[in-house]
Amino acid sequence: MSSAVGQLSLRYWWRKFKSATMMGATVAATLLTLVPLFWVLGYLLKQGLSGIDLAFFTSLPRPVGEKGGGMGNAVLGTLELVTLATVMAVPLGVSAGLYLTEPGRNGLMANAVRFAADVLMGVPSIVIGIFVYALVVRPMKTFSALAGAIALATMMAPLVVRTTEEAIKLVPLELRESALALGVPRWKTSLFIVVRTAARGIATGILLALARIAGETAPLLFTAFGNQFWSTSLTRPIAALTVQVYTYAISPFPEWHRQAWAGALVLTGMVLIVELSVHMLTGKKVRAPR
């Protein structure tokens, strides 16, 4: 009797030990993935915060040796480029995503579109930059905001296609059929029932894609090029935070390094704001039909 109990408690403690070990391992893995995030953010804050003041957002870069100055034009340029890219990529991406989910579609065409989007997502961003250089910059004979936005849109569109497709797939087929059975034409069913039901998911995908392209440097090197002056013109080179940070970081001047850190911090802050709004958007979930 007593030996049976002893055996039982031995097994019990062995089981406890295994559980604790595994739990410890998963906690360690979680911390390990979180450490780089906070390390990067902390280092960025330490290095960048001193460079940020009002002038950083309102003034132009100064020549080497002069104190002060900022990256106001680059902040504005990034906002313009991302907005333009979104305007181009969203209608295209959402439409293609909707196409992929329409029932009764020829599978061959849909698969081709899906495959193309996947391949496009895997293309190195520098290649997209070169592609747009050949397609837009060469014929226009100038670097331009337009070319930069097209490069970013090329990266953004396939992301939007796939996230839209996933969001729409979550809409139950019964909902689509209910609308059709009311005598609602197919196009209205897709647009006003299916897309509207999936709207939150689609918006989330768009914001995530937007956050992703806001941090891209390579596609802009041969397209938007960068600019040391205020410019919002579509047909002229335009400054972007990422490019500006890159240019300043590889320079030999400590003052520029300080500004590069500040630029990196601002860019990270902008992306963080977008991510946080995604979090808020998905926090309040629509109740699914029972």
Partner 1 sequence: MAKLSLVHLSAYFGRVKTLKDINLDIPEYNVTAVIGPSGCGKTTLVRCLNRMHEVVRDARVEGEVLLDGENIYAPGVDPVQIRRRVGMVFQKPTPFPTMSIEENVIAGLKLNGSVRNSAQRAEIVERCLRLAALWDEVKDNLGKPGTSLSGGQQQRLCIARALAVEPEVLLMDEPCSSLDPASTARIEELVLELKSQYTIVIVTHNMQQAARASDYTAFLLNGVLIEFGETKQIFTNPKRQETEDYITGRFG
The residue among 189 and 244 lying less far from partner 1, judged by its C-beta, is: 189
Which one-letter DSSP state was computed for residue 171?
Answer: S
Stretch that binds partner 1, among 33-41, 87-95, 193-201, 250-258 (CB under 8 A): 193-201
d(CA 279, CA 76): 25
Choose, by CB under 8 A, the member of 6, 68, 172, 269 that binds partner 1: 172
Residue 220 near partner 1 by CB under 8 A = no
d(CA 62, CA 80): 22
By three-state DSSP, how is residue 123 classified? Answer: coil
d(CA 63, CA 70): 11
Are the C-beta atoms of residues 221 and 243 closer than 8 Å to each other? yes
The residue among 111 and 233 lying less far from partner 1, judged by its C-beta, is: 111
The residue among 195 and 265 lying less far from partner 1, judged by its C-beta, is: 195
Residue 284 near partner 1 by CB under 8 A = no
d(CA 8, CA 164): 54
- At residue 217, φ and ψ (nearest 5 deg) are -110, -50
Touching partner 1, residues 238-267 (CB under 8 A)? none
CB of 200 vs partner 1, minimal distance in Å: 9
DSSP string, 31-50: HHHHHHHHHHHHHHHHHHGG
Stretch that binds partner 1, among 59-67, 122-130, 180-188, 267-275 (CB under 8 A): 180-188
DSSP string, 205-254: HHHHHHHHHHT--HHHHTTTB--SS----TTS-B--HHHHHHHHHTSS-H
Residues touching partner 1, count (CB under 8 A): 26
Residue 178 near partner 1 by CB under 8 A = yes
Residue 290 near partner 1 by CB under 8 A = yes
Residue 109 token pair: 């065409």
Residue 2 token pair: 């007593």
Site string for partner 1, 37-76 (x = CB under 8 A): ----------------------------------------
The residue among 4 and 182 lying less far from partner 1, judged by its C-beta, is: 182
CB of 219 vs partner 1, minimal distance in Å: 36
Touching partner 1, residues 78-137 (CB under 8 A)? 103-104
What is the separation of C-alpha 18 from the centre of its chain, rounded to a whole number of angstroms? 40
The residue among 102 and 255 lying less far from partner 1, judged by its C-beta, is: 102
In angstroms, the Cα distances linking 213 to 114, 140, 157, 208, 267 are: 20, 24, 10, 9, 11
Binding site for partner 1 (CB under 8 A): 103-104, 172, 174-175, 177-185, 188-189, 192-193, 196-197, 199, 286-290
